[in-house]
Amino acid sequence: MMSRALKILEEVDEAGGELSQVSERLGMTDRHLRRLFQEHLGAAPIDIAISRRLHLARQLLSEKHLSILDIALASGFSSLRRFNDAFVKAYKVNPSTFRKDADLSISSRGEVKLTLPYVGPYDWDNLIAFFRRHQAEGIEHIEDNLYVRQFQGKSGPSLYTIKNNPKKSHLEVELTLSSLEDLRPTVERIRAQFDLTHNPFHIDISEKDVPEDFIETLQEVRKMRIPGSFDTFENAISIVLSQLVSTERARDLLGTVIRKFGTTVDKPLYPGLTKFFPSAEILMDADFQGVGVTRARAEAIRLIARAVHERSIQLSPSADLDVTKQRLLALKGIGPWTVALISMRCLSDADAFPAIDLIVDRALKKFSLPHDFLAPWRAYFALAVWKTQAHLLTKKGKGPHVKDL
Protein backbone atom coordinates (compact mmCIF):
# COMPACT_ATOMS: atom_id res chain seq x y z
CA MET A 1 0.00 0.00 0.00
CA MET A 2 2.70 2.52 0.97
CA SER A 3 4.78 1.72 -2.10
CA ARG A 4 1.84 2.48 -4.39
CA ALA A 5 0.92 5.55 -2.33
CA LEU A 6 4.41 6.97 -2.84
CA LYS A 7 4.27 6.30 -6.58
CA ILE A 8 0.88 8.00 -6.87
CA LEU A 9 2.13 10.93 -4.77
CA GLU A 10 5.09 11.38 -7.14
CA GLU A 11 2.80 11.24 -10.17
CA VAL A 12 0.24 13.66 -8.74
CA ASP A 13 2.90 16.05 -7.45
CA GLU A 14 4.60 16.16 -10.86
CA ALA A 15 1.26 17.06 -12.44
CA GLY A 16 0.65 19.79 -9.86
CA GLY A 17 -2.31 17.93 -8.35
CA GLU A 18 -3.79 17.94 -4.88
CA LEU A 19 -3.43 15.49 -1.97
CA SER A 20 -7.11 14.57 -2.37
CA GLN A 21 -6.27 12.98 -5.75
CA VAL A 22 -3.84 10.60 -4.02
CA SER A 23 -6.32 9.52 -1.34
CA GLU A 24 -9.11 9.23 -3.94
CA ARG A 25 -7.07 6.85 -6.11
CA LEU A 26 -6.24 4.78 -3.04
CA GLY A 27 -9.88 4.69 -1.92
CA MET A 28 -9.35 6.38 1.45
CA THR A 29 -9.82 9.73 3.15
CA ASP A 30 -7.13 12.44 3.26
CA ARG A 31 -6.99 12.01 7.03
CA HIS A 32 -6.32 8.27 6.79
CA LEU A 33 -3.66 8.87 4.14
CA ARG A 34 -1.85 11.39 6.36
CA ARG A 35 -2.04 8.96 9.28
CA LEU A 36 -0.50 6.18 7.15
CA PHE A 37 2.37 8.40 6.02
CA GLN A 38 3.04 9.54 9.56
CA GLU A 39 2.97 5.98 10.87
CA HIS A 40 5.21 4.43 8.20
CA LEU A 41 7.43 7.33 7.12
CA GLY A 42 7.27 9.78 10.00
CA ALA A 43 6.23 12.66 7.77
CA ALA A 44 3.16 14.08 6.06
CA PRO A 45 2.65 13.47 2.31
CA ILE A 46 3.28 17.13 1.48
CA ASP A 47 6.56 17.04 3.41
CA ILE A 48 7.67 13.96 1.43
CA ALA A 49 6.79 15.71 -1.83
CA ILE A 50 8.65 18.92 -0.87
CA SER A 51 11.70 16.92 0.23
CA ARG A 52 11.90 15.24 -3.19
CA ARG A 53 11.55 18.61 -4.95
CA LEU A 54 14.31 20.13 -2.84
CA HIS A 55 16.67 17.21 -3.43
CA LEU A 56 16.36 17.76 -7.18
CA ALA A 57 16.66 21.55 -6.79
CA ARG A 58 19.92 21.24 -4.82
CA GLN A 59 21.52 19.36 -7.68
CA LEU A 60 20.19 21.79 -10.29
CA LEU A 61 21.71 24.73 -8.42
CA SER A 62 25.11 23.48 -9.55
CA GLU A 63 24.08 24.13 -13.15
CA LYS A 64 25.17 27.72 -13.67
CA HIS A 65 23.28 28.17 -16.94
CA LEU A 66 19.91 27.67 -15.20
CA SER A 67 18.27 30.61 -13.45
CA ILE A 68 16.93 30.08 -9.95
CA LEU A 69 13.41 30.67 -11.27
CA ASP A 70 13.96 27.94 -13.89
CA ILE A 71 15.17 25.61 -11.14
CA ALA A 72 12.20 26.39 -8.91
CA LEU A 73 9.70 25.60 -11.66
CA ALA A 74 11.59 22.54 -12.93
CA SER A 75 11.69 21.13 -9.40
CA GLY A 76 7.93 21.41 -9.02
CA PHE A 77 7.44 24.66 -7.10
CA SER A 78 4.66 26.93 -8.32
CA SER A 79 6.55 30.14 -7.54
CA LEU A 80 9.98 31.46 -6.66
CA ARG A 81 8.73 32.62 -3.27
CA ARG A 82 7.52 29.15 -2.29
CA PHE A 83 10.79 27.64 -3.46
CA ASN A 84 12.86 30.13 -1.45
CA ASP A 85 10.75 29.60 1.69
CA ALA A 86 11.00 25.81 1.49
CA PHE A 87 14.73 25.90 0.73
CA VAL A 88 15.54 28.21 3.64
CA LYS A 89 13.37 26.15 6.01
CA ALA A 90 15.18 22.93 5.01
CA TYR A 91 18.78 24.13 4.62
CA LYS A 92 18.94 27.40 6.64
CA VAL A 93 20.33 29.27 3.64
CA ASN A 94 18.72 30.80 0.58
CA PRO A 95 19.26 29.23 -2.88
CA SER A 96 21.43 32.08 -4.17
CA THR A 97 23.87 31.80 -1.27
CA PHE A 98 23.91 28.00 -1.58
CA ARG A 99 24.79 28.33 -5.27
CA LYS A 100 27.66 30.71 -4.57
CA ASP A 101 29.11 28.36 -1.96
CA ALA A 102 28.63 25.20 -4.03
CA ASP A 103 31.35 23.40 -5.95
CA LEU A 104 29.88 23.99 -9.40
CA SER A 105 29.89 21.28 -12.05
CA ILE A 106 29.13 23.19 -15.21
CA SER A 107 28.39 21.58 -18.57
CA SER A 108 29.85 23.51 -21.49
CA ARG A 109 27.05 22.25 -23.73
CA GLY A 110 24.25 23.24 -21.38
CA GLU A 111 23.23 19.75 -20.30
CA VAL A 112 21.82 19.03 -16.87
CA LYS A 113 23.98 16.71 -14.76
CA LEU A 114 22.58 14.79 -11.80
CA THR A 115 23.53 11.94 -9.55
CA LEU A 116 20.85 9.46 -8.53
CA PRO A 117 21.78 7.36 -5.46
CA TYR A 118 20.93 3.77 -4.74
CA VAL A 119 21.29 1.42 -1.78
CA GLY A 120 23.81 -1.33 -2.52
CA PRO A 121 24.50 -4.07 -3.27
CA TYR A 122 23.47 -3.19 -6.82
CA ASP A 123 24.21 -5.62 -9.64
CA TRP A 124 24.72 -3.12 -12.44
CA ASP A 125 26.35 -5.69 -14.72
CA ASN A 126 23.33 -7.99 -14.61
CA LEU A 127 20.93 -5.09 -15.13
CA ILE A 128 22.78 -3.53 -18.07
CA ALA A 129 23.23 -6.97 -19.66
CA PHE A 130 19.45 -7.46 -19.48
CA PHE A 131 18.84 -4.09 -21.15
CA ARG A 132 21.40 -4.91 -23.84
CA ARG A 133 19.71 -8.26 -24.63
CA HIS A 134 16.43 -6.41 -25.16
CA GLN A 135 17.85 -3.27 -26.75
CA ALA A 136 15.46 -1.16 -28.84
CA GLU A 137 17.32 -0.47 -32.08
CA GLY A 138 17.36 3.20 -33.05
CA ILE A 139 16.18 4.28 -29.58
CA GLU A 140 18.85 2.96 -27.17
CA HIS A 141 22.63 2.63 -27.23
CA ILE A 142 24.12 0.35 -24.56
CA GLU A 143 27.67 -0.53 -23.55
CA ASP A 144 29.15 -2.12 -20.41
CA ASN A 145 28.97 1.08 -18.37
CA LEU A 146 26.92 3.33 -20.60
CA TYR A 147 23.22 3.55 -21.25
CA VAL A 148 21.88 6.12 -23.73
CA ARG A 149 18.25 6.72 -24.70
CA GLN A 150 16.64 9.28 -26.95
CA PHE A 151 12.96 10.06 -26.41
CA GLN A 152 10.25 12.49 -27.46
CA GLY A 153 10.17 15.46 -25.10
CA LYS A 154 7.46 18.09 -24.94
CA SER A 155 9.20 20.32 -27.48
CA GLY A 156 11.32 17.87 -29.45
CA PRO A 157 13.98 15.18 -29.07
CA SER A 158 15.51 14.71 -25.62
CA LEU A 159 18.31 12.44 -24.47
CA TYR A 160 19.84 10.98 -21.33
CA THR A 161 23.05 9.07 -20.72
CA ILE A 162 23.79 7.04 -17.61
CA LYS A 163 26.95 5.62 -16.09
CA ASN A 164 27.31 3.69 -12.86
CA ASN A 165 29.64 4.88 -10.10
CA PRO A 166 29.82 1.88 -7.74
CA LYS A 167 32.32 3.54 -5.39
CA LYS A 168 29.83 6.31 -4.61
CA SER A 169 26.71 4.12 -5.00
CA HIS A 170 25.01 6.36 -7.51
CA LEU A 171 24.25 6.70 -11.19
CA GLU A 172 25.70 9.66 -13.05
CA VAL A 173 23.07 11.11 -15.35
CA GLU A 174 23.40 13.69 -18.13
CA LEU A 175 20.22 15.02 -19.70
CA THR A 176 19.69 17.07 -22.83
CA LEU A 177 16.06 18.16 -22.65
CA SER A 178 13.84 19.94 -25.13
CA SER A 179 12.19 21.69 -22.19
CA LEU A 180 12.86 21.93 -18.46
CA GLU A 181 9.25 20.81 -17.98
CA ASP A 182 10.51 17.34 -18.94
CA LEU A 183 13.03 17.22 -16.10
CA ARG A 184 11.02 15.85 -13.15
CA PRO A 185 9.05 13.22 -15.07
CA THR A 186 12.23 12.12 -16.85
CA VAL A 187 14.11 11.69 -13.57
CA GLU A 188 11.24 9.69 -12.04
CA ARG A 189 11.05 7.43 -15.09
CA ILE A 190 14.80 6.82 -14.84
CA ARG A 191 14.39 5.93 -11.15
CA ALA A 192 11.76 3.36 -12.12
CA GLN A 193 13.77 2.02 -15.05
CA PHE A 194 16.86 1.38 -12.89
CA ASP A 195 14.91 0.45 -9.74
CA LEU A 196 16.67 3.11 -7.67
CA THR A 197 14.18 3.37 -4.81
CA HIS A 198 14.48 -0.32 -3.86
CA ASN A 199 16.12 -1.09 -0.52
CA PRO A 200 17.54 -4.63 -0.74
CA PHE A 201 17.71 -4.96 3.04
CA HIS A 202 13.93 -5.04 3.19
CA ILE A 203 14.21 -8.57 1.79
CA ASP A 204 14.70 -11.04 4.62
CA ILE A 205 16.90 -13.88 3.39
CA SER A 206 18.05 -14.95 6.85
CA GLU A 207 17.13 -18.30 8.33
CA LYS A 208 15.72 -19.60 5.06
CA ASP A 209 15.70 -23.38 4.95
CA VAL A 210 17.10 -24.08 1.48
CA PRO A 211 19.38 -26.76 0.05
CA GLU A 212 23.09 -25.99 0.22
CA ASP A 213 23.42 -25.76 -3.57
CA PHE A 214 20.73 -23.03 -3.60
CA ILE A 215 22.51 -20.72 -1.14
CA GLU A 216 24.40 -18.92 -3.93
CA THR A 217 21.12 -18.02 -5.62
CA LEU A 218 19.62 -16.82 -2.34
CA GLN A 219 22.63 -14.57 -1.71
CA GLU A 220 22.16 -12.99 -5.16
CA VAL A 221 18.61 -11.89 -4.41
CA ARG A 222 19.64 -8.67 -2.64
CA LYS A 223 21.92 -7.69 -5.51
CA MET A 224 19.15 -7.87 -8.10
CA ARG A 225 17.31 -4.89 -9.53
CA ILE A 226 14.16 -5.04 -11.60
CA PRO A 227 14.91 -4.01 -15.21
CA GLY A 228 12.14 -1.46 -15.38
CA SER A 229 10.73 0.77 -18.07
CA PHE A 230 11.36 4.28 -19.23
CA ASP A 231 8.57 3.76 -21.78
CA THR A 232 6.13 1.24 -20.29
CA PHE A 233 4.14 0.83 -23.52
CA GLU A 234 7.31 0.08 -25.48
CA ASN A 235 8.33 -2.54 -22.93
CA ALA A 236 4.89 -4.17 -22.91
CA ILE A 237 5.06 -4.59 -26.69
CA SER A 238 8.61 -5.93 -26.40
CA ILE A 239 7.40 -8.54 -23.88
CA VAL A 240 4.56 -9.67 -26.17
CA LEU A 241 7.04 -10.02 -29.03
CA SER A 242 9.25 -12.21 -26.84
CA GLN A 243 6.57 -14.87 -26.32
CA LEU A 244 8.00 -18.31 -27.19
CA VAL A 245 10.91 -17.05 -29.29
CA SER A 246 14.61 -16.56 -28.57
CA THR A 247 15.96 -13.30 -27.20
CA GLU A 248 17.71 -12.62 -30.49
CA ARG A 249 14.51 -13.18 -32.48
CA ALA A 250 12.48 -10.98 -30.11
CA ARG A 251 15.04 -8.17 -30.43
CA ASP A 252 14.93 -8.44 -34.23
CA LEU A 253 11.13 -8.31 -34.21
CA LEU A 254 11.19 -5.24 -31.95
CA GLY A 255 13.64 -3.56 -34.33
CA THR A 256 11.36 -4.32 -37.27
CA VAL A 257 8.35 -2.82 -35.48
CA ILE A 258 10.37 0.30 -34.67
CA ARG A 259 11.64 0.69 -38.25
CA LYS A 260 8.23 0.11 -39.83
CA PHE A 261 5.97 2.06 -37.47
CA GLY A 262 8.26 4.37 -35.47
CA THR A 263 8.68 8.10 -36.07
CA THR A 264 11.94 9.22 -37.65
CA VAL A 265 13.92 11.81 -35.69
CA ASP A 266 14.91 14.74 -37.92
CA LYS A 267 17.87 15.84 -35.84
CA PRO A 268 19.13 12.97 -33.65
CA LEU A 269 20.98 13.92 -30.47
CA TYR A 270 23.17 10.78 -30.55
CA PRO A 271 24.66 8.83 -33.48
CA GLY A 272 22.44 5.97 -34.60
CA LEU A 273 19.43 6.96 -32.49
CA THR A 274 17.05 7.93 -35.26
CA LYS A 275 13.63 6.67 -34.11
CA PHE A 276 10.89 7.23 -31.55
CA PHE A 277 8.82 4.21 -30.57
CA PRO A 278 5.38 4.12 -32.28
CA SER A 279 2.49 5.35 -30.19
CA ALA A 280 -0.40 3.21 -29.01
CA GLU A 281 -2.63 5.11 -31.46
CA ILE A 282 -0.44 3.95 -34.36
CA LEU A 283 -0.14 0.31 -33.29
CA MET A 284 -3.79 -0.27 -32.39
CA ASP A 285 -4.71 -0.36 -36.10
CA ALA A 286 -1.34 -1.42 -37.52
CA ASP A 287 -0.97 -3.98 -40.31
CA PHE A 288 1.77 -6.37 -39.17
CA GLN A 289 2.06 -8.20 -42.48
CA GLY A 290 5.75 -8.61 -43.29
CA VAL A 291 6.88 -7.97 -39.70
CA GLY A 292 7.32 -11.66 -38.98
CA VAL A 293 4.84 -12.13 -36.13
CA THR A 294 1.91 -14.52 -36.03
CA ARG A 295 -1.63 -13.27 -36.51
CA ALA A 296 -2.35 -14.03 -32.86
CA ARG A 297 0.65 -12.04 -31.71
CA ALA A 298 -0.23 -9.10 -33.98
CA GLU A 299 -3.78 -9.07 -32.62
CA ALA A 300 -2.50 -9.13 -29.02
CA ILE A 301 -0.33 -6.09 -29.76
CA ARG A 302 -3.27 -4.26 -31.30
CA LEU A 303 -5.47 -5.09 -28.31
CA ILE A 304 -2.93 -3.80 -25.77
CA ALA A 305 -2.34 -0.69 -27.87
CA ARG A 306 -6.05 0.06 -28.05
CA ALA A 307 -6.52 -0.49 -24.31
CA VAL A 308 -3.62 1.85 -23.53
CA HIS A 309 -4.83 4.47 -26.02
CA GLU A 310 -8.37 4.35 -24.60
CA ARG A 311 -6.96 4.38 -21.04
CA SER A 312 -8.79 1.23 -19.99
CA ILE A 313 -5.36 -0.13 -19.06
CA GLN A 314 -2.81 2.07 -17.29
CA LEU A 315 0.78 0.85 -17.65
CA SER A 316 2.26 2.77 -14.73
CA PRO A 317 3.93 1.93 -11.39
CA SER A 318 1.08 3.84 -9.74
CA ALA A 319 -1.62 1.71 -11.38
CA ASP A 320 -3.84 -0.62 -9.37
CA LEU A 321 -1.98 -3.93 -9.80
CA ASP A 322 -4.94 -6.28 -9.42
CA VAL A 323 -7.18 -4.34 -11.79
CA THR A 324 -4.43 -3.94 -14.40
CA LYS A 325 -3.48 -7.63 -14.32
CA GLN A 326 -7.12 -8.70 -14.64
CA ARG A 327 -7.64 -6.44 -17.64
CA LEU A 328 -4.45 -7.64 -19.30
CA LEU A 329 -5.44 -11.30 -18.81
CA ALA A 330 -8.81 -10.55 -20.39
CA LEU A 331 -7.07 -9.68 -23.68
CA LYS A 332 -6.82 -12.50 -26.19
CA GLY A 333 -3.23 -13.68 -26.58
CA ILE A 334 -2.09 -12.37 -23.20
CA GLY A 335 -1.41 -15.11 -20.65
CA PRO A 336 -0.01 -15.38 -17.12
CA TRP A 337 3.66 -15.32 -18.19
CA THR A 338 3.22 -12.13 -20.21
CA VAL A 339 1.21 -10.48 -17.41
CA ALA A 340 3.89 -11.39 -14.85
CA LEU A 341 6.62 -9.83 -16.97
CA ILE A 342 4.57 -6.70 -17.66
CA SER A 343 3.80 -6.43 -13.93
CA MET A 344 7.49 -6.72 -13.11
CA ARG A 345 8.95 -4.45 -15.78
CA CYS A 346 6.15 -1.92 -16.46
CA LEU A 347 4.27 -1.73 -13.14
CA SER A 348 7.32 -2.08 -10.80
CA ASP A 349 5.64 -4.99 -9.02
CA ALA A 350 8.22 -6.39 -6.58
CA ASP A 351 6.15 -9.57 -6.16
CA ALA A 352 5.58 -10.26 -9.87
CA PHE A 353 6.35 -13.93 -10.33
CA PRO A 354 6.40 -15.81 -13.64
CA ALA A 355 5.87 -19.21 -12.00
CA ILE A 356 5.30 -20.95 -15.35
CA ASP A 357 8.61 -19.70 -16.73
CA LEU A 358 10.64 -22.76 -17.66
CA ILE A 359 13.71 -21.94 -15.55
CA VAL A 360 11.76 -20.65 -12.55
CA ASP A 361 9.49 -23.70 -12.61
CA ARG A 362 12.44 -26.09 -12.75
CA ALA A 363 14.21 -24.28 -9.91
CA LEU A 364 11.12 -24.49 -7.68
CA LYS A 365 10.87 -28.23 -8.34
CA LYS A 366 14.59 -28.97 -8.07
CA PHE A 367 14.98 -27.23 -4.72
CA SER A 368 11.49 -28.11 -3.41
CA LEU A 369 10.54 -24.46 -2.90
CA PRO A 370 6.93 -23.26 -2.53
CA HIS A 371 5.50 -20.75 -5.02
CA ASP A 372 5.28 -18.11 -2.30
CA PHE A 373 9.00 -18.38 -1.46
CA LEU A 374 10.33 -14.87 -0.63
CA ALA A 375 6.92 -13.23 -1.16
CA PRO A 376 6.37 -10.27 -1.42
CA TRP A 377 9.76 -9.97 -3.17
CA ARG A 378 9.43 -12.75 -5.74
CA ALA A 379 10.47 -10.59 -8.70
CA TYR A 380 13.97 -10.34 -7.22
CA PHE A 381 13.93 -14.08 -6.50
CA ALA A 382 13.07 -14.79 -10.17
CA LEU A 383 15.87 -12.50 -11.36
CA ALA A 384 18.38 -14.29 -9.13
CA VAL A 385 17.19 -17.66 -10.43
CA TRP A 386 17.61 -16.55 -14.04
CA LYS A 387 21.10 -15.29 -13.31
CA THR A 388 22.45 -18.27 -11.40
CA GLN A 389 20.38 -21.26 -12.51
CA ALA A 390 19.66 -20.76 -16.23
CA HIS A 391 22.83 -22.49 -17.43
CA LEU A 392 22.21 -25.40 -15.04
CA LEU A 393 18.52 -25.94 -15.74
CA THR A 394 18.35 -25.23 -19.47
CA LYS A 395 17.33 -28.18 -21.58
CA LYS A 396 15.01 -28.77 -24.47
CA GLY A 397 11.39 -28.30 -23.58
CA LYS A 398 8.29 -26.34 -24.35
CA GLY A 399 7.10 -23.27 -22.52
CA PRO A 400 8.49 -19.84 -21.71
CA HIS A 401 12.27 -19.92 -21.42
CA VAL A 402 14.75 -17.54 -19.83
CA LYS A 403 15.93 -16.71 -23.37
CA ASP A 404 12.46 -15.32 -24.00
CA LEU A 405 13.01 -12.72 -21.27
Same-domain pairing of 289 and 258: yes
Q: What is the CATH number of the domain that holds 339?
A: 1.10.340.30
Same-domain pairing of 332 and 242: yes
Same-domain pairing of 265 and 316: yes
Residue 404 scores a pLDDT above 50:
no
For the segment 350-370, what is each residue's pLDDT rounded down to a tens digit? 999 998 899 999 999 999 999
Q: Is residue 376 part of a domain?
A: yes
Q: What is the CATH number of the domain that holds 38?
A: 1.10.10.60
Q: Is residue 393 part of a domain?
A: yes
Q: Is residue 167 part of a domain?
A: yes
Beta-ladder partners of 138: none
Window from 16-25, 43-52, 243-252 with minimum mean pLDDT: 16-25
Inter-CA distances, 383 with 93, 100, 389, Å: 45, 45, 10
Confidence of residue 1 (pLDDT cuts 50, 70, 90): low
- 101, 123, 156: which is the final residue of a domain? 101
Calpha distance 311→391 (Å, rounded): 40
Same-domain pairing of 35 and 11: yes
For the segment 191-234, what is each residue's pLDDT rounded down to a tens digit? 999 999 999 999 988 767 788 889 989 999 999 999 999 999 99
CB neighbour list of residue 168: distance below 8 Å, 6 or more residues apart: 115
Same-domain pairing of 64 and 124: no
Calpha distance 202→127 (Å, rounded): 20
Element (H, E) at 328: helix 321-329
* Average pLDDT of span 314-326: 93
Domain count across the chain: 4
Window from 8-22, 77-91, 155-169 with minimum mean pLDDT: 8-22
Calpha distance 127→384 (Å, rounded): 11
Task: Put the strands of the sheet holding 146-152 in their side by side order.
Answer: 112-117, 170-176, 157-165, 146-152, 140-143
Task: Check residues 343 and 211 and name the one with the higher pLDDT.
Answer: 343
* Average pLDDT of span 64-92: 86
Domain hosting residue 384, numbered range = 205-226+350-405
Helix (H, G, I), strand (E, B) or coil at 176: strand
Calpha distance 4→9 (Å, rounded): 8
Same-domain pairing of 374 and 298: no
Q: Is residue 107 part of a domain?
A: no
Q: What is the CATH number of the domain that holds 155?
A: 3.30.310.20
For the segment 35-64, what is each residue's pLDDT rounded down to a tens digit? 888 887 778 888 888 888 888 888 888 777
Same-domain pairing of 358 and 214: yes
Same-domain pairing of 123 and 164: yes
* Average pLDDT of span 357-384: 93
Same-domain pairing of 382 and 362: yes
Q: Is residue 129 part of a domain?
A: yes
Same-domain pairing of 333 and 361: no
Q: Is residue 106 part of a domain?
A: no
110-114-115 Cα angle (round to 5): 155
Q: Is residue 35 part of a domain?
A: yes
Same-domain pairing of 50 and 184: no
- 302, 326, 346: which is the final residue of a domain? 346
Per-residue model confidence (pLDDT) at position 296: 94
Same-domain pairing of 306 and 390: no
**What does pTM read for this prediction?**
0.82
- 78, 101, 124: which is the final residue of a domain? 101
DSSP 196-247: TT--GGGS--TT----GGGHHHHHHGGG------SSHHHHHHHHHHTTTS-H
Q: Is residue 164 part of a domain?
A: yes
Most confident option among 10-14, 211-215, 399-403: 211-215
* Average pLDDT of span 89-101: 80
